[in-house]
Amino acid sequence: MEGTGGELGGQGNWGLEDAPGLLARASLPIIPAWPLPLASSALTLLLGALTSLFLWYCYRLGSQDMQALGDGSRAGSVSGGPGGCSEAGRPSPGSSGEPGEGPRTEGLVSRRLRAYARRYSWAGMGRVRRAAQGGPGPGGGLGVLGIQRPGLLFLPDLPSAPFVPRDAQRHDVELLESSFPAILRDFGAVSCDFSGTTPLPRGWSPPLAPGCYQLLLYQAGRCQPSNCRQCPGAYRALRGLRSFMSANTFGNAGFSVLLPGARLESRCGPTNARVRCHLGLKIPPGCELVVGGEPQCWAEGHCLLVDDSFLHTVAHNGSPEDGPRVVFIVDLWHPNVAGAERQALDFVFAPDP
């Protein structure tokens, strides 16, 4: 049969031979008329909403940076007082007290890390970024078994042990041990009467605790020129070290003296990114070092590597006739902190100019 209708939906009779044409017509999209002014208005509203969202995001980001800056200003300067102590000679909260510590404001750490990334790159900064965001300890809490509690910076995924094997810093350990005679001579040149009856000579810091004295060649990442001139052998050894934290507020080096009967109670260092190297100079009987519940003792002419982010206690239980315990302390990078991470942390924790 022949159809009489001219358009789909018209009246008439259709045959099977007309089916392909009808299906083709039915498959055509039905595009409603859309007025051009209305489309332009919708696009304008969409662009306005996106612009407002972007401006709100920029405002929030700027507010966070200003809050971080304000927190950093309230916390004071990046490096603390001598040996990480207040003016009264007592260790500041969260510091290990032996020797000086670095900055304490988490917002300031994040702000400086962002500045580093803008200048260089985020490449290799995964652990450092997590450390800046998460605060001390895994997830901002306590460390391993609750006995590792760095006061400022916990770098995740670092091997944790109270005492570090000597082979981890073989070059620096062997250099310090070979310099033992020269460093011991330097101590003899700057040593004094620690009985408290006479004022301390220039260069010696106020006592960290009763019977605990120190003379620093590097304090919070800054060289102390007058002390270095008095100790040329020790200074020469420091200049030859490969992993000394010499440009970081976590980095210190110098002589530590503990008189008989003196004791430093349990405390934790500021970060697990460093390893504290103790070179024994004068070790009388009765001296004890307990780190993370593990007791150890120094030996004259030998180095002991300590992760002082673990709770540790130092004591001299000898008699007055035994004389003081003397060690030369140097802060080294943890061997598992990568070069890119060291560069970033040196930038974030750079000493004050």
The pTM assigned to this predicted structure is: 0.70
C-alpha distances (whole Å) from 100 to each of 44, 94, 158, 219 are 59, 11, 23, 6
Beta bridge partners, 305, equal 164, 277
- Check whether 67 has a pLDDT greater than 50: no
* pLDDT value of residue 178: 97
* pLDDT value of residue 16: 46
Cα-to-chain-centroid distance, residue 88? 26
At residue 45, what are phi and psi to the nearest 5 degrees? -65, -40
Of residues 77 and 171, more confidence is placed in 171
In sign, the C-alpha dihedral spanning 66, 71, 73, 74 is positive
Is 201 in a helix, a strand, or coil? Answer: coil
* pLDDT value of residue 74: 35
Rounded to whole angstroms, the Cα distance separating 136 from 244 reads 23
Rounded to whole angstroms, the Cα distance separating 317 from 258 reads 10
Kindly indicate the confidence band of residue 217, based on its pLDDT and cuts at 50, 70 and 90: very high
> Beta strands of 75-172 (E only): which ranges?
163-164
Q: Which two tokens stand for residue 228?
A: 């270095």
- Check whether 5 has a pLDDT greater than 50: no
Kindly indicate the confidence band of residue 59, based on its pLDDT and cuts at 50, 70 and 90: low
* pLDDT value of residue 138: 46
- Check whether 210 has a pLDDT greater than 70: yes
Is 316 in a helix, a strand, or coil? Answer: strand
* pLDDT value of residue 200: 83
Strand ranges across the sheet with 274-282:
163-164, 303-306, 274-282, 325-333, 253-258, 212-219, 222-223
> What is the tens place of the pLDDT at every residue in 85-140?
322 233 333 344 444 444 445 688 888 999 999 999 888 889 999 988 875 554 44
Residues of the chain above pLDDT 90, percent? 52
Is 332 in a helix, a strand, or coil? Answer: strand
Kindly indicate the confidence band of residue 30, based on its pLDDT and cuts at 50, 70 and 90: very low
Rounded to whole angstroms, the Cα distance separating 196 from 83 reads 19
* pLDDT value of residue 234: 98
Residues 289/172, Cβ–Cβ less than 8 Å = no
